[in-house]
Structures are given as C-alpha cells and as structure tokens.
Amino acid sequence: MPRIASRLFALWATLAGPAFAAPALDVQEAWIAEAPPVARVHAAYMILDNPGDAAVQVVGVSSPNYARVEMHRTVVDEGMARMVRTEAIAVGAGERVVLEPGGMHIMLFEPKERTRVGDQVPLTLELDDGSELDASAEVRQRPSPAQHQPHGHMNH
C-alpha cells in the first residue's frame, strides 16, 4: 500500500510540475510584532533563504487575517524615515534576505481580529514562478533594540 501511494504521489508531483517542486524559498523565523489593539497596520518580519541555484522573487503576500498586504522597506535618509513600497523582494541563488525592524517588512493592513503574543498567523508568499509558499508567522512582542544588534546574538 505505501509503495502504491508513494508512486501515485510521485506521478502526481510530476504532473503537477514546478508548483509542487521543493519550495524555492525557505522561510524561517517569520513573526509579527504585536501591536496596540487600535493599530490599523502591523508588520511581519522573516528570514528568506534561497537554497536553489536560481534567483527567486517574492511578488506578493496575502493573509486571511488582514484586508491587504504590501511589501515595504523603511529608509532613513538624513534622519527622515520613509516607507517605500516594493513590488518584489529578490533573493539571489544561495542567498539570504532578512526582513527585520527598521528595514524590509511585510505591511499588514486592517487586522480582522486582535492578534496577541503567541498567535500563529498564516501568510502566503506568491513567487515569480507562479508558485505559492505557505508560512506561519508567530505574533511576538517587539524587542527593545540594544547595542545595534537587531538580530544578533552577541553577549555583552
């Protein structure tokens, strides 16, 4: 039985084509910063690893928990903070892109319900090859940055 099942699976995977190939990106440490209940916008952060040998672009993100999702980059230029909307996040072959506070982030508009620390929020990343990648972002409390180590692990 298991052999037949696995053969059927292999056949189906072959027919399904690239949409079923191993995910082109590895999503790690996806999290959403808990925000005041009154906040209409949230931010999600994550690490995107591309283990493959071709560049991959994230061209869209969606979540059933939010009305709309965009990709943004915070830019501080001569002390002035701006949010720049980006249509795609490119991850080169074998490269890693870190979405983190003060930099690139997923902007989540109009939460449909209150999110609390510990909640898991589903996110779907749309890739430039047409495939979709499901991820789960944990709601966490925003850390207080110290020692210019936004995601470091140095001891002080």
Partner 1 sequence: MNQQQTSSRAAVAVLFILIAAAGLAAGMWLSQQFASAPPAQPPAGLEATYLPEGRQLTEFSLVDHDEAPFTRARLEGRWSFMFFGFTNCPDVCPMALQVMRGVKTQIEGRATPPQVVFVSVDPERDPPATLKEYVGYFDPAFTGVTGELDQIDSLTRQLGILYGYEDPDPETGEYTVNHSAQILLIDPQARMRAVFSTPHDVRAIARDFLEIRDLHQKEG
What's the number of CA atoms in the CB half-sphere (13 Å) around residue 87? 1
Is 5 a binding residue for partner 1 by CB under 8 A? The answer is no
Nearer to partner 1, 14 or 147 (CB): 147
Nearer to partner 1, 54 or 75 (CB): 75
> Is residue 16 helix, strand or coil?
helix
Residue 37 lies near partner 1 (rule: CB under 8 A): yes
- With CB under 8 A as the contact rule, the residue among 2, 36, 64, 152 that binds partner 1 is 36
Among 23, 26, 41, 138, binds partner 1 (CB under 8 A): 41
At 103, list the tokens: 């930099």
Q: Is 62 in the site for partner 1 (CB under 8 A)?
A: no
Q: What distance in Å separates the CA atoms of residue 16 and residue 68, rounded to the nearest whole number?
A: 29
Cβ–Cβ under 8 Å, residues 68 and 109: yes
